[in-house]
């Protein structure tokens, strides 16, 4: 299975692109435009946006678990400063955070 | 604060932009208390689940197609239908899209089931 | 929940002579989607895609999966540090040691400690480690849980009777892709020397989702 090379390593700061395309999207709306840190590289998987239309979704996209601070996501977050959320995001949705 | 489909929202940097959130993509939206009562799955619901498993194993359906078809339901249908009603609808649409069944076949089969029921 | 082991045609399960559990749709008219389910299944059987027996066996296989399986995994991890290390490194391979097959899904086991509490949600649909725990509860699939668990997780936990101190990091996992998650709850105090079986009885489904903790 052909795969795209991983761009990011654990610990890298990344930003989730802000885009709202139609179709089957596995990047939740609430994290688009936000920045976090790569927690781990999960491997490469066929792109679900393409699989949803019965296309092969190749080359496989690296999938990452990205960790965000809750207080950075929600202006009114009512929890501890250390609280986090981790989301699996495909590489084509990520760019380096400035 | 993220709003529902089609509403213009201010992003974190203060700029207005129009955003489009798909109806099923509900993380972060306001919600009521989590209702704790559970129901025993009915046999028809378990059969829908079995259908998904059997079709996936035979590569006649991908879970991604199932999800896409669920997400394509109109918002009020999505909210009103039960979990397995959404599944059987999406499974059937996937099979139609794949050409495994035709609407004609489905229409005749469903009418036959209805007739059988009415005859009881 | 009884699994249906009668040898009759599953299409007529709700209309046969003998007694059946009351949750079957025995006396109500079939809904549009129930009719669709029957029609699709019968069509696919007629087309030799699968047999009625395949359907019955798939239903029984899912019925056989339940949270007790996950509880056994947790109890083994509590008592066997080497297994626990393998579980945290590669959940799928580790649970296979106990006979549980996760098929193609990767199982990520996340450990609760004194300073870290994990909570699992799938905001986009309702991904859940079904192959290990069986079917998820209704509330896990509900709008209220899916929308609020990422934004106000502590309030949601409180509804389940779980209160975390400010010194505890609450980490929510939104299961958006190919990973499936299992929380490894903290082993309760006062259980030293307990057998795996006795420990497993303390582990509820809800504690493996992360909305509750295990208690003696």
Least confident of A16-25, C23-32, C164-173: C23-32
What is the per-residue pLDDT across A44-84, written as a single tens digit (0 to 9) for each?
Answer: 999 999 999 999 999 999 999 999 999 999 999 999 999 99
**C152 and C56 share one domain:** no
CB C214 within 8 Å of CB C183 = no
Residue from the list C10, C141, C147 with its beta carbon closest to the beta carbon of B27: C147
Residue C6 has what pLDDT? 37
Cβ-Cβ contacts under 8 Å for B27 (sequence gap 6 or more) = A28, A29, A30, C121, C123, C124, C146, C147, C150, C151, C174
The enclosing domain of C129 has a CATH number of 3.90.330.10
Residue C27 has what pLDDT? 53
User: Exposed/middle/buried for C189, CB within 10 Å: 0-12, 13-18, 19+?
Assistant: exposed
Which domains can be identified in chain B, with CATH numbers?
40-118 (1.10.472.20)
Intra-chain end-to-end CA distance of chain B, in Å:
54
Which tokens go with C183? Answer: 């929380």
Paired sense of beta strands C169-174 and C116-121, if any: parallel
**C76 and C101 share one domain:** yes
**C96 and C181 share one domain:** yes
Does some domain include residue A1? Answer: no
Residue C110 and residue C180: Cα distance in Å, rounded? 10
Does some domain include residue A6? Answer: no
Q: Which of A88, A96, A92, A98 is nearest to A31 (CA)?
A: A88
Residue B1 has what pLDDT? 45
Residue A69 and residue C94: Cα distance in Å, rounded? 31
Does some domain include residue A49? Answer: yes
- Residue C58 — left, alpha, or beta (φ > 0 → left; ψ -120 to 50 → alpha)? alpha
Which tokens go with A21? Answer: 């395309």
Touching B: C residues 84-123, CB under 8 Å: 121, 123
Q: Which of the residues A36, A43, A88 would you substitute to probe the C interface, choosing the one with the greatest number of C C-beta atoms within 10 Å? A: A88
Neighbours of C27 (CB within 10 A): 8
Report the percentage of chain C scoring pLDDT > 70: 88
Q: Which helix (H) or strand (E) holds B111?
A: helix B103-118
Confidence tier at C7 by pLDDT (50, 70, 90): very low
**Closest chain B residue to the Cα of A53, Cα to Cα:** B65
B16: which strand partners?
Answer: B10
Residue A36 and residue A87: Cα distance in Å, rounded? 10
**Residue A25, domain extent:** 13-96
- For residue A95, pLDDT beyond 70: yes
What is the per-residue pLDDT across A5-31, written as a single tens digit (0 to 9) for each?
Answer: 999 999 999 999 999 999 999 999 999
What is the per-residue pLDDT across A38-51, written as a single tens digit (0 to 9) for each?
Answer: 999 999 999 999 99
Q: Which helix (H) or strand (E) holds B53?
A: helix B43-57
Residue B37 has what pLDDT? 83
Neighbours of C22 (CB within 10 A): 8
Check if C122 is active-site.
Answer: yes
**C171 and C203 share one domain:** yes
* Interchain contact, C167 vs A80, CB within 8 Å: yes
What is the per-residue pLDDT across B3-58, written as a single tens digit (0 to 9) for each?
Answer: 444 443 434 444 445 789 999 999 999 999 999 988 999 999 999 999 999 999 99
**C105 and C83 share one domain:** yes
For chain C, the C-alpha Rg in angstroms (whole number) is 20
Query: B102: helix, coil or strand?
Result: coil
Residue C23 has what pLDDT? 46
Does some domain include residue A8? Answer: no
Residue B120 has what pLDDT? 75
Confidence tier at C18 by pLDDT (50, 70, 90): very low
Instruction: Using an 8 Å CB-CB cutoff, list chain C residues near B38.
Output: 137-139
Residue C94 has what pLDDT? 97
- For residue C181, pLDDT beyond 80: yes
Residue B119 has what pLDDT? 85
Q: How confident is the prediction for chain C on average, in pLDDT?
A: 89
Does some domain include residue A4? Answer: no
Measured between CA atoms, how close is B47 to chain A, in angstroms?
23
**Residue C56, domain extent:** 26-64
Cβ-Cβ contacts under 8 Å for B76 (sequence gap 6 or more) = none
Neighbours of A33 (CB within 10 A): 16
How many separate domains does chain A show?
1
Q: Which helix (H) or strand (E) holds B55?
A: helix B43-57
Single residue among C9, C37, C64 that ends a domain in this structure: C64
**C49 and C122 share one domain:** no
Does some domain include residue A7? Answer: no
* CA angle in degrees (0–180, nearest 5) for C19-C24-C30: 125
CB A97 within 8 Å of CB A35 = yes
Residue C128 has what pLDDT? 95
CA B6 to chain centre: 21
Does some domain include residue C20? Answer: no
Check if C126 is active-site.
Answer: yes
CB B113 within 8 Å of CB C38 = yes
How many separate domains does chain C show?
2
Does some domain include residue A3? Answer: no
Rounded to the nearest 10°, the torsion over CA A60, A61, A65, A71 is -150
Does some domain include residue C10? Answer: no
- For residue C21, pLDDT beyond 50: no
* Interchain contact, B2 vs A30, CB within 8 Å: yes
Residue A73 and residue A67: Cα distance in Å, rounded? 11
Check if C214 is active-site.
Answer: no
**C161 and C76 share one domain:** yes
* Interchain contact, B54 vs C54, CB within 8 Å: yes
**C110 and C200 share one domain:** yes
What is the per-residue pLDDT across C59-116, written as a single tens digit (0 to 9) for each?
Answer: 999 999 999 999 999 999 999 999 999 999 999 999 999 999 988 889 999 999 999 9
The enclosing domain of A73 has a CATH number of 2.30.30.50
Does some domain include residue C48? Answer: yes
Question: In C, what residues contact A, Cβ < 8 A?
Answer: 106, 123-124, 150-155, 164, 166-179
pTM of the model as a whole: 0.89
CB C144 within 8 Å of CB C195 = no
**C101 and C157 share one domain:** yes
Q: Which of C31, C125, C147, C195 is catalytic?
A: C125
- Residue A79 — left, alpha, or beta (φ > 0 → left; ψ -120 to 50 → alpha)? beta
- For residue C16, pLDDT beyond 60: no
Does some domain include residue C118? Answer: yes
Residue C28 has what pLDDT? 73
**C39 and C145 share one domain:** no
Does some domain include residue A74? Answer: yes
Q: How far is CA C62 from CA A55, B23, B48, B51, in A?
A: 29, 30, 12, 12
**C55 and C109 share one domain:** no
């Amino acid at each position: 299975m052909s795969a795209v090379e991983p761009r990011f390593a654990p610990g890298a700061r990344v930003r989730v692109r802000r885009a709202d395309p139609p179709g089957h999207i596995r990047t939740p709306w609430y994290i688009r435009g936000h920045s976090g840190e790569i927690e781990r590289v999960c491997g490469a998987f066929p792109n679900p946006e393409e699989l949803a239309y019965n296309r092969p979704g190749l080359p496989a996209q690296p999938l990452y678990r990205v960790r965000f601070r809750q207080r950075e996501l929600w202006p009114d977050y009512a929890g501890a400063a250390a609280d986090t959320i981790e989301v699996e995001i495909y590489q084509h949705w990520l760019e380096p955070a400035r | 604060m993220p709003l529902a489909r089609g509403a213009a929202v201010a992003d974190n940097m203060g700029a207005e932009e129009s955003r489009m959130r798909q109806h099923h993509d509900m993380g972060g939206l306001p919600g009521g208390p989590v209702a704790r009562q559970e129901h025993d799955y009915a046999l028809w619901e378990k059969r829908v689940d079995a259908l998904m498993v059997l079709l996936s194993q035979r590569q006649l359906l991908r879970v991604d197609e199932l999800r896409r078809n669920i997400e394509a339901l109109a918002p009020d249908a999505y909210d009103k239908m039960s979990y397995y009603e959404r599944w059987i609808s999406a499974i059937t649409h996937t099979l139609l899209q794949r050409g495994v069944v035709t609407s004609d076949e489905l229409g005749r089969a469903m009418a036959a089931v209805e007739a059988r029921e009415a005859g009881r | 929940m009884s699994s249906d082991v009668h040898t009759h045609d599953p299409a007529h399960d709700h209309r046969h002579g003998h007694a059946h559990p009351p949750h079957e749709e025995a006396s109500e008219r079939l809904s549009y989607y129930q009719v669709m389910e029957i029609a699709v299944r019968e069509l696919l059987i007629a087309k030799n895609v699968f047999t009625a027996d395949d359907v019955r066996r798939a239903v029984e296989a899912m019925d056989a999966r339940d949270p007790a399986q996950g509880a056994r995994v947790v109890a083994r991890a509590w008592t066997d540090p080497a297994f626990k290390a393998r579980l945290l490194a590669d959940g799928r391979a580790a649970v296979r040691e106990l006979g549980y097959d996760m098929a193609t899904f990767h199982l990520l086991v996340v450990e609760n400690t004194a300073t870290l509490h994990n909570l699992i949600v799938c905001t986009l649909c309702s991904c859940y480690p079904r192959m290990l725990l069986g079917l998820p509860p209704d509330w896990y699939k509900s709008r209220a849980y899916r929308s609020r668990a990422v934004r106000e997780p502590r309030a949601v936990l409180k509804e389940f009777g779980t209160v975390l101190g400010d010194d505890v990091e609450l980490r929510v996992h939104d299961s958006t892709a190919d990973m499936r998650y299992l929380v490894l709850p903290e082993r309760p105090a006062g259980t030293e020397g307990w057998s795996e079986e006795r420990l497993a009885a303390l582990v509820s489904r809800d504690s493996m989702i992360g909305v509750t903790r295990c208690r003696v």
